[in-house]
Structure 1
């Protein structure tokens, strides 16, 4: 290393390069950015625009009707906002949904795709879940835990939930 470049060792072996000039002839604007219709400043609501917005009805689309989407949509709706909930599956629930199959003997089998149950500790979320329970949307887990052996087509290791 030469004495003319002592900064190379100090900077971890990488020679720093000067930044390009901030204003060049090519990127210089005639008007300040705040006057430009697509500027960052135009994204913020002015006082007069806020007054106009007070008379509009908010409409929100929520993508995904799993637990998070459902809580989001319920919270928005409770606060008077029009909500449309979208999901790519046949029904709501996301990872909390079930698949239904009919066995050869005609018995209906339910398969949980993801979480078979959830727990809640946050008081705000607990009040939402209590409302869902009162409406019959969720219920306390009272079924057995087990797994399905595809090679034998039988349920194994079923044990009562605690």
Structure 2
């Protein structure tokens, strides 16, 4: 089972996606602690999450940990799966309300100039890119220049 999780193809270019996805998640996780009112607990409170302090910190720690794992290519598939789930929740909670133009309990619609499909598409561009990047890493693994690849070659 562990061997399957760390297996990877020998692609030398996968590192580009790993660095992009890992760096963004690491940065976003750190910002949840540096700027808790706008990126962490305060944001989760505005969105309508129960226990916003818990969820803000939980997501921040997860993004930091998974961001680091992705950057070094260790347990790449597991970290990518966790971030795929993270981004799916973010899209459902924050972007779907923009598409339909109303809050759905307990999640609150933020105030924008426009609502509907195109507004949602604009607002979710980074989320969608991170979702696809995570999906790519879940499918491909860490690539040639990853700790996963080094470990799997030793066995």
Task: Give the TM-score category using the shorter length.
Answer: under 0.3
Greater strand share, 1 or 2?
1
- TM superposition score normalised by structure 2: 0.25
- TM superposition score normalised by structure 1: 0.25
Greater helix share, 1 or 2?
2
